[in-house]
Amino acid sequence: MEFNTSLIPGRLIKRYKRFLADVRLEDDSIVTAHCTNSGTMKTCLEENAPVYLTPVNDPKRKTKFTWEMIFINGDWIGINTSIPNILAFEAVRDGTIEKLKGYNRVEREVQFQDSRFDVYAENDTERCFIEVKNVTMKEGTFALFPDAVTTRGRKHLETLIRAKETGFRSVMLYVIQRMDVEKFGPARAIDPEYADVLEKAYSAGVEIIPVQAKVTPEKIEIVKELPFEL
């Protein structure tokens, strides 16, 4: 996924009220940017760290910028939670994730029972629901999800289980928008119920595919699959 506009550099002053972040731009002016990430953003917040913003030309928007990424640990971390859905759709459509190749019909936001899954894909032999989660939290060499308790995330897993039982292929795709990790796991200390339901889903045949995305101010691209431990 390439950015279709030049991003605006700045430095993070603070993130507050979950959806807002104050940023000092290079001309020393201070702007408020929209933060799409509703989680705690543990391990991806650092005052005065370089950030990039997307300018937004929408008269209905109170904030004129969207916060895209932050530079920590020598590399960029993508914090925009809408990006993984775009990456996942493009990757399944283009066949760039080895385990998700071979689909000739790919759609976004498709309803199944009480959930709306991020990606639906099918070919002549199977139908597949894919739920996508953005991962930014790091602990040692692990990328962990979630960074806050998520009842919605548990609901998606339960619905993926039911989809699997109904005959669909069911996939939980974790998009890790940072390069300083080597494997994926559930954040059991933060949400033990989510970790338990993820194990239940895996045992029921729901596939877990963690992929790592390289983030730069020009583009964000999935580069490889990572191993996982439950």
Q: Are 115 and 220 contained in the same domain?
A: yes
Q: Are 66 and 134 contained in the same domain?
A: no
Q: Are 87 and 74 contained in the same domain?
A: no
Q: How confident is the model at residue 93 (pLDDT cuts 50, 70, 90)?
A: very high
Residue 115 has pLDDT above 90, yes or no: no
Distance CA 40, CA 181 (A): 19
Helices (H) and strands (E) in the chain, counts: 3, 15
Q: How confident is the model at residue 164 (pLDDT cuts 50, 70, 90)?
A: very high
Q: pTM of whole model > 0.85?
A: yes
Domain interval for residue 30: 8-78
The answer to whether 217 and 227 are in contact (CB under 8 A) is: no
- Supply the pLDDT for residue 126: 96
Dihedral pair phi/psi, residue 140, rounded to 5°: 65, -125
For residue 199, give the H/E element and its range: helix 192-203
